Structure 1
Amino acid sequence: MYETIVYEVAERVARITLNRPDARNALSDQMIDELLDAFERAKADDGVRVIVLTGAGERAFCAGADLGGLGRAQADGRSVADAGAIRESAPFRLFTAFPKLGKPIIARLAGHAVAGGLGLAAACDLVVAADDVKLGTPEVNVGLWPMMIMAIINRNVAPKHAFRLYYTGQRITAAEGREIGLVTEVVPRAELDARVDELARTIAAKSPLGLRRGRDAFFAIEGRPLEDQVEHLLSELVGLAATEDAKEGITAFLENRAPDFQGR
């Protein structure tokens, strides 16, 4: 069904693989369209509780935007701004899709994540990286700036660390990425798949309804005054406590057994 990604589902986990290894899994418009379609498939599938996003091969998770495509667009005199269609552009639709996924998403980094690829990883809820992976925003080296992904990175990283990435264009290690908030866990390469699988299974065993409503609430309160946040969260808590999953979870706790969540 797809030409630039691979979509697989097993054990309640949807695995989406960027599949342009010869191009270091660079983001083309076609790949973004296919990614967005895969996100919608995973979101609509009740059998999927967790999404894992990764890249084919060990060279790169994702090298960012396809600069060749950008150059061709410039040569043709085309630009998103000229077309007056920023909100319809592939990058806009991609990076604004993550808060609407409704399901946890884990980035598995077996290869380097740079430029838009770093933004793609940072947009995920959790990031697990092999210990030899490098991260960076090299846009400044070619006269550009990480405009699109700055909105994502700035939500994860303190300004001083962010500016170091933006100004120097230098790559940092996965361990440094963890220290500044871009990476959740760093593991030896040989343990990467086992750790990602373990984390996905752990999350998939939770209530899908609780995960969705909690994740939605996390993004809904962003930037709102404290009183509005507490009001919204209290309302969500009352609603969540009335669900069958919450009742099952509490009953299972009292009976000292594993809960059987149905997403209701």
Structure 2
Amino acid sequence: MYETILYEAADRIARITLNRPEARNALSDQMIDELLDAFERAKADPEVRVIVLTGAGDRAFCAGADLGGLGEKGLAAPEAIRESAPFRLFTAFPRLGKPVIARLAGHAVAGGLGLAAACDLVIAADDVKLGTPEVNVGLWPMMIMAIINRNVAPKHAFKLYYTGSRITAAEGRDIGLVTEVVPRADLDARVDELAGVIASKSPLGLRRGRDAFFAIEGRPLEDQVAHLLGELVELAATEDAKEGIAAFLENRRPEFKGR
């Protein structure tokens, strides 16, 4: 079905793999279109509760935008920005409705780092490197700065942007870009374990909670609290919440149905 990505869904987990290892999984417009289609596919599948995003091979998770393709096409006209592939990709994540885990077995640089940072959780092998090298070729990480700035304090962000240097996965964890760093041999087991834990939760609770997280962003405190209290009242009335409370009181595992 896809030419630049792989898609597999099993055991409540959708695994999406960037599959251009010969190009270090660089983001072409075709890959972005296929990624967006796969995201919608996972979102619409009631059996899928967690999405794992990774890159083929151990060399690179994603090397960012396909600069060769960008040079041939040129930049999008200002009026077409919101129709462009990068805009559609990076604004899609808040609307996915399901947790997304980035599995980093290879380096994540430029737009690839933005792609990883856009995920809810990032699990990286301990020998992975991260960076924003755009300044080295006279550019700036414009496409991903909004994403990076939501994860990293300004002083750390500016150091990445100004130097273009790569940092280790452990350094990425220390500044907020990475959730966990594990030995390479343990990467798959840890990603599977974490995805399994999340997949066992109420899909309705996960979706409503994740949506609320993004809905309150940038709003005044009073508006945030009011919105969240309203969401809590509605969520508490769902079948999943009632089942979860009953299971807790009865000391058994809940059987969530997403209702």
Per the shorter chain, which TM-score range?
Answer: over 0.9
Whole-angstrom distance in 1 between the partners of 2:100 and 2:176: 16
Whole-angstrom distance in 1 between the partners of 2:33 and 2:73: 18
1:48 partner letter? V
The gaps in structure 2 that reach 5 residues or longer are: none
1:38 partner letter? A
1:214 matched residue in structure 2: 209
Kindly, what percent of the aligned residue pairs are identical?
Answer: 88
1:45 matched residue in structure 2: 45
The offset of 1:81, in angstroms, is 2.1
Whole-angstrom distance in 1 between the partners of 2:183 and 2:141: 29
The alignment status of 1:128 with 2:123, answered yes or no, reads yes
Query: Please, what TM-score do these two structures have when normalized by structure 1?
Result: 0.98
2:240 alignment partner, one of 242, 245, 250:
245
Aligned residues: 259
2:157 matched residue in structure 1: 162
Whole-angstrom distance in 1 between the partners of 2:191 and 2:63: 21
Question: SS of 1:85's equivalent?
Answer: helix
The alignment status of 1:80 with 2:56, answered yes or no, reads no
Query: Please, what TM-score do these two structures have when normalized by structure 2?
Result: 0.99
Whole-angstrom distance in 2 between the partners of 1:7 and 1:254: 39
Whole-angstrom distance in 2 between the partners of 1:92 and 1:56: 24
2:101 matched residue in structure 1: 106
Question: SS of 2:52's equivalent?
Answer: strand
1:198 matched residue in structure 2: 193
Question: SS of 2:77's equivalent?
Answer: helix
Matches within 5 A, 1:51-70: 51-70=51-70
1:23 matched residue in structure 2: 23
CA offsets 1:205-225 (integer angstroms, 9 cap, x no match): 000000000000000000000
The offset of 1:46, in angstroms, is 0.1
The offset of 1:71, in angstroms, is 1.4
Whole-angstrom distance in 1 between the partners of 2:30 and 2:12: 26
Whole-angstrom distance in 2 between the partners of 1:144 and 1:66: 14
The offset of 1:72, in angstroms, is 1.2
Whole-angstrom distance in 1 between the partners of 2:55 and 2:25: 7
Whole-angstrom distance in 1 between the partners of 2:138 and 2:52: 33
1:139 matched residue in structure 2: 134
The gaps in structure 1 that reach 5 residues or longer are: none
The offset of 1:132, in angstroms, is 0.1
1:14 matched residue in structure 2: 14
The offset of 1:257, in angstroms, is 0.5
2:85 partner letter? A
The offset of 1:44, in angstroms, is 0.2
CA offsets 1:137-188 (integer angstroms, 9 cap, x no match): 0000000000010000000000000000000000000000000000000000
Q: CA RMSD in A?
A: 0.5
**Would you identify which runs of 4 or more consecutive aligned residues in structure 1 move more than 4 Å?**
none
Whole-angstrom distance in 1 between the partners of 2:70 and 2:37: 22
1:32 matched residue in structure 2: 32
